[in-house]
Structure 1
Amino acid sequence: MAAQQQSPLTILRRKQVEARTGLARSTIYDHVRAGTFPAPISLGGKAVGWIESEIDAWLTAQVEKSRKAA
């Protein structure tokens, strides 16, 4: 049985998520509470981060929604 290649997980911090999405901190957390944005994961203490692949998937979905609406 061949081992599957998995890409390493990349964690984005809030400032990186803001830059990638164009959303402000409060908007990100509003969407997280509404269940319309990926939830952050705990990195220990008070630090959190987002899984890059989940942010990429959210961005792709936003583009697809936008294209269908046009």
Structure 2
Amino acid sequence: MVQTILRLPAVKAETGASRSTIYLRIQQGLWPKPVRLGPRSVGWPTSEVAAINAARISGLPDDEIRALVIKLEATRKNASKAFQGE
């Protein structure tokens, strides 16, 4: 499965949120941490952005969105381990 990584301008366009709001939500556990692409660049998998957007649109409360973020980050970590052959 090919996964596209969205940089911050694309994430802002997809969510309608500002940079500061996205990073505040990361601190609050309401948004997944970014994927490091290089020493000075980060991005987010499109599937994670879509999942969080869908949760917000459906009106999920913050505690359920936090649980979703934990699940998304765990899935990302497990996929990384599988890719590395662990």
Same fold (TM over 0.5): yes
Q: Distance in 2 between matches of 1:41 and 1:47?
A: 9
In the comparison of the two structures, how many residue pairs are matched?
A: 60
The answer for unaligned runs of 5 or more in structure 1 is 1-6
The normalised TM-score by structure 1 is 0.81
**Structure with more of its chain in helix, by fraction:** 2
Deviation at 1:38, TM superposition (A): 1.7
Superposition RMSD in Å: 1.1
The answer for unaligned runs of 5 or more in structure 2 is 61-86
Question: Which stretches of structure 1, 4 residues or longer, exceed 4 Å deviation after superposition?
Answer: none
- Give deviations 1:9-54, integer Å, cap 9, x for gaps: 1000000000000000000000011110121110011100001000
The normalised TM-score by structure 2 is 0.67
Among 44, 53, 70, the alignment partner of 1:59 is 53
Larger-Rg structure: 1
- Percent identity between matched residues is 42
